[in-house]
């Protein structure tokens, strides 16, 4: 399973019918300046350039936003979203391209900001938004799971109709976080006369019967549209954002401030040098003062060096989960007493400390209460009184031994034997290349060995690990759920993506194998994967969501179908040596950056923050 699973993968239909390869759609560019078909404005004269880095490499990329190798950094810097989610809220947004919106019944009306132009001089209108929404539907964008129609009453308004029984709040969240508007002048040629009708029919069927939808002629027509769209050779990047692309190599992109941006007077950053290097190359760039902003993870020694660097600052926010998933269909992990015993033996705090260190703002931290939620969501959706009722599973070998003995286990010669008289041994599958997971799992294996359970760590290629987990061919394995919606976080582990998979080539397999029916506190006996699947897509924030989060947290805490052993910390390192006026660390902008780095950083720049020092 991927380390972060998406709703798109869970409901993959159209795009899974013809998996595109890099070789099919790749467009590779060298280190020469870009050629444009229209005049470019001159570089702004004031101020300096902000140097930013993510990680890895641009490598092979395409200027086509619908190509699998799309140049992702165009989003936010050059292509505006409708709005930016005010993380961790699911219902509050900062308007960007949308000036305002309103919900009446099942209709979400979005009003396009007036006075916004594309970088070729054309105005941004509702046609651009409408066409983008339809083109997104060819690639199974998940907001089409929530809507039944889209229309444009006039040149500045687009109306999305939310499906009956679906939550307008969650549909709004999906649309605003996924839809980056592209110019109809470039992509509109792929909006065929039948595309809207095809998508409306296809998604209506897919909402109730995915297997039937996959056999519809409309599915084949949509797939053909996407294939042509994704392979289209786009030579110009036409944006509407505060910056435009001026040059790019395999490891660096240069963006320049665009003076035609509708709110350009607030932007004090003249340009951006966007490095995309491997971590080992980023570290010296950061500590030498070349970089002013990066989200690259800093291991403990580098974290200490960074904090000693003049002008260094960091905003650290807990994010995705680090999870040890058990095969709930394989003996003896199919017994709750065994899973609970393992939770009492595995030293979560030591795993986090030995892997990430104990410094302030370290890249990972132990989760005090394993309830299937990261601490930031636990604090948001559970009350202190509720958390106090949960089992923290401190290391307690006596309790672990008592639980194992209660199901017929016994110890002989320092080794635990199962009720069948066999040595209790198993393998912990860690993802190859994930050194932090391998370190943490090695700590767990050592503790289990000291207790009398022989556990070994095996490095498994990510694709193999995913296949093994979905097939149910594992004992214990690493996974990394995450997100803002707490029900979605539960759904990533307990829903039909991973637990009794429902779609694709793994349909009918067991995956995690928890259930399929189980007694969920507050809900009673339910089909676990189907229940959490449905709740995740229809439950907006509010009292009902809070109650359901409490129900599922108790289930995970009591049944331990997987053990959330630590939470990854997202580190945002920034320097004040060349730019002043960064947002205060109490600003919500940092929370946004911790969930959507570029969106939050661009939002800060366009709100007037970050001024170059003279």
CA distance 568 to 561: 20
Which token pair is 70?
Answer: 């799309």
- Distance between first and last Cα of the chain: 49
Residue 553 lies in a domain: yes
Q: What is the mean pLDDT of residues 451-468?
A: 94
Residue-range definition of the domain harbouring residue 485: 320-568
Residue 559 lies in a domain: yes
Nearest Cα residue to 578 out of 315, 298, 290? 290
Lowest-confidence region among 247-251, 361-365, 377-381, 595-599 = 247-251
CA distance 472 to 511: 4
Q: The tokens 């607030």 sit on which residue?
A: 266
pLDDT of residue 589: 96
pLDDT of residue 57: 58
CA distance 367 to 362: 14
Nearest Cα residue to 430 out of 565, 319, 331, 595? 565
Instruction: Identify the residue with better confidence: 29 or 449.
Output: 449
CA distance 400 to 404: 6
Q: Is the model's pLDDT at 561 over the cut of 80?
A: yes
Which token pair is 82?
Answer: 């409708």
Q: Is the model's pLDDT at 27 over the cut of 70?
A: no
Strand (E) or helix (H) holding 566: strand 562-575
pLDDT per residue as tens digits for the range 264-304: 999 999 999 988 877 788 888 888 888 999 999 999 999 99
Q: What is the mean pLDDT of residues 232-240?
A: 93
pLDDT of residue 19: 28
Given CA atoms 548, 550, 552, 555 in this order, what sign does their dihedral have?
negative
Residues 6+ apart with CB under 8 A from 377: 88, 484, 486, 489, 549
pLDDT per residue as tens digits for the range 562-585: 999 999 999 999 999 999 999 999
Which token pair is 467?
Answer: 């296949």
- Across 243-257, 414-428, 533-547, the highest mean pLDDT is recorded for 414-428
CA distance 338 to 259: 64
CA distance 292 to 290: 7
Q: Is the model's pLDDT at 10 over the cut of 80?
A: no
Report CA 544 to chain centroid distance, whole Å: 24
Nearest Cα residue to 604 out of 94, 11, 120, 158? 94
Enumerate the H helices of 268-309 as residue ranges. Answer: 279-287, 300-307
pLDDT per residue as tens digits for the range 374-397: 888 898 899 999 999 999 999 999
Q: What is the mean pLDDT of residues 597-608?
A: 96
CA distance 307 to 283: 13
CA distance 354 to 346: 13
Enumerate the H helices of 498-570 as residue ranges. Answer: 528-538, 543-559
Enumerate the H helices of 360-415 as residue ranges. Answer: 375-381, 384-389, 397-406
Residue 180 lies in a domain: no
Report CA 256 to chain centroid distance, whole Å: 28
pLDDT of residue 367: 86
Q: Phi/psi at 200 (nearest 5 deg)?
A: -60, -45
Residue 399 lies in a domain: yes
Residue 604 lies in a domain: no
pLDDT of residue 59: 66
Q: Is the model's pLDDT at 478 over the cut of 70?
A: yes
Residue 32 lies in a domain: no
Nearest Cα residue to 58 out of 193, 249, 230? 249
Residues 6+ apart with CB under 8 A from 196: 134, 150
CA distance 65 to 233: 11
> Confidence band (pLDDT; 50, 70, 90) for 505?
confident
> Confidence band (pLDDT; 50, 70, 90) for 34?
very low
332 preceded by a cis bond (ω within 30 of 0): yes
Instruction: Identify the residue with better confidence: 292 or 13.
Output: 292
Q: For residues 355, 489, 514 and 544, what is the CA-based torsion angle, rounded to 10 degrees?
A: 140
> Confidence band (pLDDT; 50, 70, 90) for 65?
very high
Q: The tokens 């993802």 sit on which residue?
A: 431
pLDDT of residue 18: 27
Check residue 277 and report its DSSP letter. -
Q: Is the model's pLDDT at 4 over the cut of 90?
A: no
- Helix, strand or coil, per DSSP, at residue 172: helix
Q: For residues 85, 86, 92 and 98, what is the CA-based torsion angle, rounded to 10 degrees?
A: -50
Q: Is the model's pLDDT at 140 over the cut of 80?
A: no
Please, what is the average pLDDT of the chain?
A: 88
pLDDT per residue as tens digits for the range 163-214: 998 889 989 999 998 999 999 999 999 999 999 999 999 999 998 888 898 8
Residue 259 lies in a domain: no
Nearest Cα residue to 139 out of 27, 222, 24, 231? 222
How is the chain split among helix, strand and coil, in percent rounded to 5? 35, 20, 40
Which token pair is 256?
Answer: 């320049």
> Confidence band (pLDDT; 50, 70, 90) for 71?
confident
Residue 538 lies in a domain: yes
Q: Is 351 exposed, middle or buried (0-12, 13-18, 19+ CB in 10 A)?
A: buried
Which token pair is 409?
Answer: 């286990």
Q: Is the distance from CB of 490 to CB of 556 less than 8 angstroms?
A: yes
How far, CA to CA in Å, does 474 sit from each of 466, 479, 497? 10, 12, 17
Number of domains within the chain: 1
pLDDT per residue as tens digits for the range 510-560: 999 999 999 999 999 999 999 999 999 889 999 999 999 999 999 999 999
Q: For residues 13, 18, 23 and 29, what is the CA-based torsion angle, rounded to 10 degrees?
A: -50
Residue 401: CATH number of its domain: 3.10.105.10
Which token pair is 611?
Answer: 């001024």
């Amino acid at each position: 399973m991927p380390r972060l699973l998406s709703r798109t993968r869970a409901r993959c239909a159209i795009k899974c019918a013809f998996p595109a390869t890099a070789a099919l759609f790749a467009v590779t560019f060298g280190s020469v300046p870009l050629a444009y078909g229209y005049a470019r404005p001159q570089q702004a004269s004031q101020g300096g350039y902000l140097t930013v880095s993510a990680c890895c490499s641009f490598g092979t990329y395409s200027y086509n936003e619908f190509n699998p190798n799309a140049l992702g950094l165009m989003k936010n810097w050059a292509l505006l979203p409708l709005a930016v989610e005010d993380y961790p809220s699911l219902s509050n947004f900062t308007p960007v391209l949308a000036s305002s919106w309103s919900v009446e019944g099942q209709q979400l009306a979005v009003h396009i900001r007036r006075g916004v132009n594309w970088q070729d001089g054309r105005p941004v209108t509702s046609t651009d938004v409408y066409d983008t929404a339809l083109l997104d539907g060819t690639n199974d964008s998940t907001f089409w799971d929530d809507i039944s129609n889209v229309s444009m009453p006039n040149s500045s308004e687009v109306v999305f109709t939310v499906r009956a029984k679906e939550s307008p709040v969650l549909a709004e969240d999906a649309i605003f976080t996924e839809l980056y508007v592209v110019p109809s002048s470039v992509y509109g040629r792929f909006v065929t006369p039948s595309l809207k009708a095809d998508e409306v029919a296809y998604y209506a069927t897919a909402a109730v019967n995915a297997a039937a939808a996959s056999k519809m002629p409309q599915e084949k027509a949509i797939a053909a549209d996407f294939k042509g769209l994704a392979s289209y050779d786009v030579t110009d990047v036409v944006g509407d954002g505060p910056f435009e692309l001026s040059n790019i190599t395999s490891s660096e992109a240069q963006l320049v401030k665009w003076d035609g941006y509708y709110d350009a007077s607030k932007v004090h950053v003249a340009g951006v040098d966007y490095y995309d290097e491997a971590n080992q190359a980023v570290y010296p760039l950061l500590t030498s003062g070349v970089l002013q902003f990066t989200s690259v993870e800093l291991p403990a020694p580098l974290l200490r060096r960074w904090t000693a660097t003049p002008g260094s600052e960091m905003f650290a926010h807990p994010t995705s989960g680090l999870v040890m998933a058990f095969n709930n269909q394989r003996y003896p992990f199919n017994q709750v007493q065994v899973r609970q015993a393992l939770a009492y033996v595995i030293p979560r705090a030591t795993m986090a400390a030995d892997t990430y260190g104990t410094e302030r703002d370290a890249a990972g931290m132990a989760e005090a209460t394993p309830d299937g939620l990261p601490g930031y969501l636990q604090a948001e959706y559970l009350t202190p009184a509720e958390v106090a009722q949960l089992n923290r599973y401190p290391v307690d070998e006596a309790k672990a031994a008592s639980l194992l003995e209660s199901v017929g286990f016994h110890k002989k010669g320092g080794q635990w034997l199962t009720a069948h008289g066999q040595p209790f041994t198993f393998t912990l599958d860690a993802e190859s290349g994930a050194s932090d997971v391998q370190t943490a799992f090695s700590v767990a294996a050592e503790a289990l060995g000291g207790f009398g359970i022989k556990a070994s760590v095996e490095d498994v290629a990510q694709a193999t690990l995913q296949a093994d987990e979905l097939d149910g061919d594992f004992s214990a394995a690493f996974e990394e759920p995450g997100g803002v919606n707490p029900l979605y976080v539960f759904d990533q582990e307990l829903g039909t993506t991973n637990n009794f998979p429902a779609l694709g080539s793994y349909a009918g397999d067991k995956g995690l194998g928890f259930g399929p029916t189980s007694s969920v506190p507050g809900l009673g006996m339910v089909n676990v994967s189907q229940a959490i699947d449905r709740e995740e897509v229809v439950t907006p924030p509010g009292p009902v969501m809070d109650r359901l989060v409490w129900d599922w947290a108790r289930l995970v805490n009591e049944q331990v179908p997987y053990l959330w052993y630590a939470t990854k910390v997202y580190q945002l390192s920034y320097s004040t040596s060349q730019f002043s006026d960064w947002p205060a660390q109490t600003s919500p902008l940092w929370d946004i950056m911790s969930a959507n780095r570029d969106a939050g950083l661009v939002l800060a720049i366009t709100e007037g923050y970050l001024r170059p020092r003279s």
